[in-house]
Structure 1
Amino acid sequence: MLKALIITYYWPPAGGPGVQRWLKFVKYLKEFDIEPIVYAPKNPTYPLEDDSLLTEILDDITAIKRPIFEPYRFAEIFSKKETKTISKGIISGKEKQSLVQRILLYIRGNFFIPDARKFWVNPSVKYLKKYISEHKIETIITTGPPHSVHLIGKKLKAQMKLNWVADFRDPWTTIGYHDKLKLTTKSLLKHKELEKEVLGNADHIIVTSFTTKEEFQNITNRPISIITNGYDFEDVEEVSLDQKFTISHIGSLLSGRNPENLWRALAELVESDKEFAEWFRLKLVGTVSQDVLKTLHQYGLSQFLELVDYVPHSEAVTIQKRSQVLLLIEINSNETKCIIPGKLFEYMVSKRPILAVGPENADISRIISETNSGSFFTYKDCESIKLLLKEYFEQYKEQKLVSRVTGIEKYSRRELTRSLAEILKNIKQEL
């Protein structure tokens, strides 16, 4: 059986989307004759924790944990709230940033390259060199962000005879928040240099979207495969639908995810249709920025709003299944058209209609169209959103509102793991 060492920062009890991908791969790899060994930090600073995910780790999985130095702990001395906000990726626009946030962003962007977990690199390389030799491991996998994890892979590859797969859950220098880190010209060049070195030295690169693959192909000639995020059949149970016409968004709604065209469409509907106003509820589950809340208040939607704090993954799945319509909102920028969030696939298997808003030519629009799982709109659409919501509401009243998804089987975690196993076995043959 092929042994694969998976180097990841996010591992249970970490919560949020970052942990899901490799938790699920590890769950199924042994079915395809791959023995996963997980290497993760012993004392991390996770912005979100979800103890329920600990139950998904199989008893026979080896997980090695080593200490990590986390600068975020020192940053909390100045402002615990600002530090936690930044670590969650909630970064306000330049005109709304506090002095403390501007200082923290400058330090984060220019003194911690590629990120604040850089101090884990050298101790990990030293420890893993010995572990890899003793356990005769031929293949390592690094998954980022944080992209400092890839530097562990780069150094191990340079010092040992190994196959190295670099998995990018998000892009590096073109990720949406990168331009908010107040990078100097020198720091930006350093990021690009490290990105190029990682992409040029990995034996195989895995990305989660079509756009990221195209972007990386302009930087490296190394083989690149797309393995998207996915869903797990075991996570899904039958539940009753909400009695109200609930339109739900699961996950963080950052300042950039604030589609005024959608809020305007809803405001016009509650104003013009008393029955719609009586039954409509907007449920936002997870962290919601003050910018979004302020906009909803301006459109008169506060009275229809139900805010729910971060919930365990299993509870989030239940909320998805109960909702009448599911919202998927991505930031309206060229940098985010590559983002295909994991919740898209869980939305699809929930079999509830998806209403997605994002940038033009977004990768999510392609998948939604292929699977017939909902409708995608740009930030320019308003009337078309309103027409769709009217249609959904009429179907809801007749108890006929359903999602007729097709072709989603290839996005199951087991099938995605099958694709991953084929990559790992093929590069082993090339060693």
Structure 2
Amino acid sequence: MKRVLLITYYWPPSGGSGVQRWLKYARYLPASGWQPVIYTPLNPEAPATDESLLSDVPPEAEILKRPITEPYQWYKKVTGRKESVNVGFIRSERDGPESRAELFSRWVRGNFFIPDARCLWIRPSVRYLRSYLSQNPADAIISTGPPHSMHRIAQKLAHKTGLPWLADFRDPWTGIDFYDDLLLTPPADHLHHRMERAVLSKADVVTTVSPHISRELYRKGARRVEVIPNGYDPADFSGLEDSRKPDSNTFTLLHSGSLVPSRNPHSLWAALSRLCDTLPGFRESLRIRLVGSVDGSVRQSVEKAGLSRQCEVVPYLPHQEALREVFSSDVLLLLINQTANAEGFLSGKVFEYLAAGRPVLCIGPKKGDAAALLRETEAGLTHDFDDQDGIFITLKEWFAAWQKQQPVTTPNLEAVQKYSRPFQAAQVAALLDRLPARND
């Protein structure tokens, strides 16, 4: 069996969306002849902990964990916070306005820790891995980001060892939605772009999750980009069919994952408020469940729309419990960030939505990659950010079908099945098989 070194910041027992993609690929790569060797921090600042994910680690995997030094301990001292910065700078209502110390810390993080707060791990990791590979040869390197320091480790290691390198972009680098929130000076912004171009131009192949991001990466200097979307693991859904409660008297709308300010669906709240006021029985039946980190601004919008009694915010759940929530819901909400890269937004949860077979209501650009996926799989509908009337009509129709216990959508199962993790892991293995030897 050939060996591939996977450099990733997120690995079980860390939880959250950043873990899923390569944990699942690593699980199924041995079936295609590749043994994963995982290099990951011993003491990461994980957004959540999910011990249940450890069961997905394949027995063939070799795990290398090394200590990492991160600036978050200093951040906590300066700001007085007990936790680190949340992904996308999510703030809860209890946080209040951002303090001067927090703003200063964010400016320091953006301008002195480039490309991200894990940059202090680059040099010791290259030194350790170079020594490790001299005694334990591998056939290829994979890096996955963000954090993009993982790509910097792989870039230097590939140059020193001559091993072929696949760089995986789960999200953009300088095109990510919160890039402007880093408060970058012109020199720091220039350095980010220069590092990004170097990674894209040096990697033998770049993979990413959507066609839109693929085109963006080509424009920024990538030589070869392959789109391998996120997906779902059929094994995760075993036994979840029983989660559905056919006698339920609640019409449940569910969003799973982080809700940052740019993802706040103002038109949805307005449409739901109108339906509560005009449609008999809707207010009494409506239940909104937001599972994951929710920014305080989203909670305020829900309250302003008069939906507080219908809405419940559920903190982070282990992956299997979150999937159970998906299965027990009537409508699944896919909320796209209202940012410049909205058309390329294609998160991992949408594929688990598809596998659950529940109707998906997407609020985002109709020309985006998420909208195209829903059309291809016939799994739901997309409405533009400001299409309050369209959202109102769709939910009114779906509520009427729910009352009659009629299906709202009939997904195209053949189209959905090609997004399974085993199928995609085989695609990754095929890419690795075709990578040429390097001659740096």
- TM range, smaller chain: over 0.9
Q: Note the 1:225-304 alignment, pairs <5 A.
A: 225-236=226-237, 237-238=240-241, 239-241=243-245, 242-304=248-310
Cα distance in 2 between the residues matched to 1:359 and 1:193? 30
**Structure 1: gaps of 5 or more residues:** none
2:18 is matched with which residue? 18
2:336 is matched with which residue? 330
Q: Note the 1:111-260 alignment, pairs <5 A.
A: 111-236=112-237, 237-238=240-241, 239-241=243-245, 242-260=248-266
Cα distance in 1 between the residues matched to 2:76 and 2:44? 14
1:73 corresponds to 2:73: yes
Q: Note the 1:49-128 alignment, pairs <5 A.
A: 49-79=49-79, 81=81, 84=84, 86-91=85-90, 97-128=98-129
Cα distance in 2 between the residues matched to 1:50 and 1:164? 29
The offset of 1:91, in angstroms, is 4.7
- Residues 224-256 of structure 1, C-alpha deviation per residue, up to 9 Å, x if partnerless? 100111001111121223431000111111111
1:411 is matched with which residue? 419
Preserved contact between residue 170 and residue 207 of structure 1 (Cα < 8 Å): yes
Preserved contact between residue 197 and residue 222 of structure 2 (Cα < 8 Å): no
SS in 2 for 1:48: coil
SS in 2 for 1:347: helix
Preserved contact between residue 91 and residue 177 of structure 1 (Cα < 8 Å): no
The answer to which of 213-222 and 418-427 deviates more is: 213-222
Cα distance in 2 between the residues matched to 1:337 and 1:14? 29
**Structure 2: gaps of 5 or more residues:** none
Q: Note the 1:34-49 alignment, pairs <5 A.
A: 34-49=34-49
The offset of 1:162, in angstroms, is 0.7
- Residues 328-354 of structure 1, C-alpha deviation per residue, up to 9 Å, x if partnerless? 111112223212100000000011000
Preserved contact between residue 326 and residue 353 of structure 2 (Cα < 8 Å): yes
Q: Using a 3 Å threshold, how does the CA distance of structure 1 residues 429 and 403 change in structure 2: closer, same or farther?
A: farther
Cα distance in 1 between the residues matched to 2:152 and 2:422? 29
The answer to which of 193-202 and 95-104 deviates more is: 95-104
Q: Percent identity?
A: 39
The offset of 1:286, in angstroms, is 1.0
Preserved contact between residue 172 and residue 213 of structure 2 (Cα < 8 Å): yes
- Residues 345-400 of structure 1, C-alpha deviation per residue, up to 9 Å, x if partnerless? 00000110000112453211111111111011111201111111011111111111
Preserved contact between residue 162 and residue 438 of structure 2 (Cα < 8 Å): no
1:341 corresponds to 2:342: no
SS in 2 for 1:136: coil
Preserved contact between residue 14 and residue 46 of structure 1 (Cα < 8 Å): yes
Q: Using a 3 Å threshold, how does the CA distance of structure 1 residues 162 and 429 change in structure 2: closer, same or farther?
A: closer
Preserved contact between residue 271 and residue 388 of structure 2 (Cα < 8 Å): yes
Preserved contact between residue 334 and residue 359 of structure 1 (Cα < 8 Å): no
Q: Using a 3 Å threshold, how does the CA distance of structure 1 residues 69 and 42 change in structure 2: closer, same or farther?
A: same
Cα distance in 1 between the residues matched to 2:217 and 2:64? 31
Could you tell me which of 380, 386, 390 is aligned with 2:392? 386
- Residues 21-72 of structure 1, C-alpha deviation per residue, up to 9 Å, x if partnerless? 0000000001001111111001111121111111221233211101100111
The alignment's TM-score, normalised by the length of structure 1, stands at 0.96
Cα distance in 1 between the residues matched to 2:282 and 2:407? 15
2:323 is matched with which residue? 317
The alignment's TM-score, normalised by the length of structure 2, stands at 0.94
Letter in 2 for 1:297: E
Letter in 2 for 1:305: C
Instruction: Give the RMSD, CA atoms, in angstroms.
Output: 1.6
The offset of 1:80, in angstroms, is 5.2
2:312 is matched with which residue? 306
The answer to which of 140-149 and 302-311 deviates more is: 302-311
Preserved contact between residue 267 and residue 301 of structure 1 (Cα < 8 Å): yes
Preserved contact between residue 327 and residue 354 of structure 1 (Cα < 8 Å): yes
